[in-house]
Amino acid sequence: MRQNARGEDGTLPDAPSGAPAAERFRRRVLGGETLLVLALSLGASAVSALISFVGAATRPGGLKDQAAHLNASHAPGRPWLDLSWQVFGIATALVPVFLVAHLLLRESRGEGGLRLIGLDRTRPVFDLGRGTALAAAIGGTGLLFYLGVRAAGFNLTVVPESLPEVWWKIPVLIASAVQNAVLEEVVVVGYLLRRLGQLGWTPAAALVASAALRGSYHLYQGIGGLVGNMVMGVVFVLLYRRWGRVGPLVAAHALIDVVAFVGYALLAGKVGWLPTA
């Protein structure tokens, strides 16, 4: 009796009738993986932002009379303990990025990792150059949009930082900005678009999903935070598809947040046009 031919790895080839079942199983695994990554990161942040916004919207008074604090002290009057909490928060927020790197590394059998989504050191000049230009375009427009929607009563007053005047204040604000950029662009653009494509989503549907997710976890800032970040999300997805790299997006996002955090620390209370809580 003739034995079935085996592949080079000694396994039997899949029967044609089993291909649809195998594909359904693969999609279930990828779908579950994607939901878990989001539940451990920015998907959970979106739910938190929604609850926060409902609380702000139902509280007496207008949204602009309320504040959304981003980088606040965790141990007032105890600078070393406060620094420990700041470093801990930044480090743990990056865990989903390492998880994504691990999942992509397994997918590529050790040959890709974050390189699959264009986050590596192979094109630093390109990434920084495009990122700087993008930050200049979006940063200024975003500030004007924020000031407008806040004046119209659709946004809370965003307080980028309320840290004490200690030696580690500026380094922590810069580290926080970089952490935000890496987490958001890796998960919401590089990873999510890759997985949605593998799950059979159309490019348009994946773009909407990525932009909607980005906007949703900024809802704690108000309607302006939702809409403004959705628009930013559309732009970032289109540029990612054009460049094939999240590197420029990480650079742009980091620069935007560094200017916002450090700029607020230096200018708050000293210029009349910058709203403060």
Report field, pTM of the whole predicted structure over 0.85: yes
> Looking at residue 20, what is its pLDDT?
85
Query: pLDDT by residue (tens digit) across 180-233?
Result: 999 999 999 999 999 999 999 999 999 999 999 999 999 999 999 999 999 999
Residues 178 and 91: beta-carbon distance below 8 Å: no
Residues contacting 79, CB < 8 A, separation 6+? 164, 166, 168
> Looking at residue 277, what is its pLDDT?
78
Distance between CA 169 and CA 161 in Å, rounded?
9
Distance between CA 245 and CA 218 in Å, rounded?
24
Phi, psi of 163 (to 5 degrees): -80, 155
Number of Cβ within 10 Å of residue 151's Cβ equals 11
- Give, for 131, the enclosing helix (H) or strand (E): helix 124-151
Q: How confident is the model over 142-169, as a mean pLDDT?
A: 95
Tokens of 210: 């990525």
Q: How confident is the model over 45-55, as a mean pLDDT?
A: 97
Residues 62 and 150: beta-carbon distance below 8 Å: no
Query: pLDDT by residue (tens digit) across 103-153?
Result: 999 998 888 899 999 999 999 999 999 999 999 999 999 999 999 999 999
> Looking at residue 254, what is its pLDDT?
98
Distance between CA 166 and CA 181 in Å, rounded?
24
- Give, for 171, the enclosing helix (H) or strand (E): helix 169-184
Residues contacting 45, CB < 8 A, separation 6+? 217
Instruction: Give CA 222 to chain center in angstroms.
Output: 18
Residues 123 and 247: beta-carbon distance below 8 Å: yes
Which of 16-20, 33-37, 146-150, 267-271 has the lowest average pLDDT? 16-20
Phi, psi of 162 (to 5 degrees): -140, 45
> Looking at residue 5, what is its pLDDT?
44
- Tell me the average pLDDT of the chain: 92
Residues contacting 137, CB < 8 A, separation 6+? none
By three-state DSSP, how is residue 155 classified? strand
Distance between CA 113 and CA 120 in Å, rounded?
9
> Looking at residue 13, what is its pLDDT?
45
pLDDT band of residue 56 (cuts 50, 70, 90) is: very high
Number of Cβ within 10 Å of residue 133's Cβ equals 13
pLDDT at residue 16 above 80? no
pLDDT band of residue 18 (cuts 50, 70, 90) is: low
> Looking at residue 17, what is its pLDDT?
52
pLDDT band of residue 4 (cuts 50, 70, 90) is: very low
Query: pLDDT by residue (tens digit) across 85-103?
Result: 999 999 999 999 999 999 9
